[in-house]
Amino acid sequence: MTESTTICVTGADPYDIRVGRGVLHELPSLLPESARKVLVVHPPTLRTAAESLRASLLDSLGDGRQVLLAEVPDAEAGKRVEVAAFCWQVMGQADFTRTDAVVGFGGGAVTDLAGFVAATWLRGVATVLVPTTVLGMVDAAVGGKTGINTAEGKNLVGAFWAPHAVLCDLDLLDTLGRNELVAGYAEVVKAGFIWAPEILELIEAGPEHAVDPRSDAFRRTMELAIGMKARVVSEDFREAGLREILNYGHTLGHAIEHAERYQWRHGAAISIGMVFAAELSRLAGRLPDDAAQRHRDILGSLGLPLSYRAGAWPQLLATMQRDKKSRGGMLRFIVLDDIAKPTVLQAPDESLLFAAYQEVAESR
């Protein structure tokens, strides 16, 4: 028997997120009734799983339905216009109509691409997202941000397009490597610091248990993190305000990812970014010392990195300065007034930023 929790995203285009073990079998019932054709977008590593998904969809949807598979490169290699064009071609050749549906089955990059393809085909068809990574479940698949990269930067082309439903089957995480699992879990820790302290308490009670995908603690922390994202995007779908808190640890984190030519896992970079943001909050006189230390203790207990090259600061600052152009010309950091009390720190003094960086610099 499967048991799942339903988390609702409200707003103009409401949808449900089903979280649980073995919930993949609910996929046929989550597709729109109108869908005669379904395109499953998946990476090569999930070819066999996508073929079984296709067979079970055909079984349960009945006669007259067509299920197509589009295999796309994994990770950022899939978020290219040529790959989107390949998906559009498959849809065009199958006479995909506005009442048909796309399933995004894979990690965050695959669900971003599938969402984008769905958002743009005939000005928008339904998408059901089935994320297969921790990062995909707690972040990419929830909130309707879809997009692809261009030569000039990541996610420069895209659309806000709410999915029809999201299915987070925790069984899909059993085969993930530990490093990938823990890196994705950095976003769960972030949810703990900005919104749900219960996550922090569960990790402190047993870090190994918390990142064991078969444990109750893992499931609970995943539900809390997905619940946090659902609440935030329900209130602020288009990132006009509250949604910005999700960038906690990301301003420096993105600069580190850029410095590492995107060879680092996102979660490793934002782990350092969160320690930096906590130190910035502390040095700005907002966050108590013990709350900043709690960042190091929790992230360190999971084996996530806490420091970065001391000499990298000028390059990181320059990257952050360039990035700020897309956000109104001023550097903005999400900082904490306390645990679960995020706020914006705008245009902080460079000397304060440098002092906070010294706290994460490796040569200390």
Decide: 265 and 182 in contact? Cβ < 8 Å: no
By CB under 6 A, is residue 104 in contact with ligand GLY?
Answer: no
Give least dist CB 68 to ligand GLY, A: 28
119 CB contacts (<8 Å, ≥6 apart)?
A: 127, 146, 158, 159, 161
Q: Show the CA angle centred on residue 213, arms to residues 273 and 264, nearest 5°.
A: 30
Active-site choice (21, 54, 250, 295): 250
150 CB contacts (<8 Å, ≥6 apart)?
A: 81, 156, 157
Interface characters, 50-89, with ligand GLY (x: CB under 6 A): ----------------------------------------
277 CB contacts (<8 Å, ≥6 apart)?
A: 248, 249, 251, 252, 333, 334, 335, 336
Active-site choice (18, 190, 229, 286): 229
Active-site residue, 266 included: yes
Among 65, 231, 243, 309, which residue interacts with ligand GLY (rule: CB under 6 A)?
243
Distances (CA, A) of 180 to 174, 184, 350: 12, 6, 34
Torsion of CA 186, 337, 349, 306, to 10 degrees: -30
Among 20, 115, 131, 143, which residue interacts with ligand GLY (rule: CB under 6 A)?
143
Q: What are the structure tokens assigned to 175, written together?
A: 């085969």
139 CB contacts (<8 Å, ≥6 apart)?
A: 108, 187, 229, 246
By CB under 6 A, is residue 246 in contact with ligand GLY?
Answer: yes
Nearest to ligand GLY of 239, 297 (CB atom)? 239
By CB under 6 A, is residue 163 in contact with ligand GLY?
Answer: no
Nearest to ligand GLY of 37, 79 (CB atom)? 79
Active-site residue, 295 included: no
User: What are the DSSP calls for 308-334, one per residue?
Assistant: B-GGGHHHHHHHHHHHGGGGTSS-EEE
How many residues touch ligand GLY (CB under 6 A)? 6
Active-site choice (187, 223, 257, 279): 187
Place of tokens 């706020």: 343
231 CB contacts (<8 Å, ≥6 apart)?
A: 195
Active-site residue, 239 included: yes
Nearest to ligand GLY of 243, 296 (CB atom)? 243
Active-site choice (36, 154, 243, 332): 243
Q: Which stretch binds ligand GLY (CB under 6 A): 30-38, 117-125, 137-145, 325-333?
A: 137-145
By CB under 6 A, is residue 139 in contact with ligand GLY?
Answer: yes
Q: Which stretch binds ligand GLY (CB under 6 A): 1-9, 55-63, 238-246, 346-354?
A: 238-246
By CB under 6 A, is residue 145 in contact with ligand GLY?
Answer: yes
Q: CB-based burial of residue 198 (10 Å sphere; 0-12 exposed, 13-18 middle, 19+ buried)?
A: middle
Q: Which residues bind ligand GLY (CB under 6 A)?
A: 139, 143, 145, 239, 243, 246
| Residues with active-site annotation | 123, 145, 187, 229, 239, 243, 247, 250, 254, 266
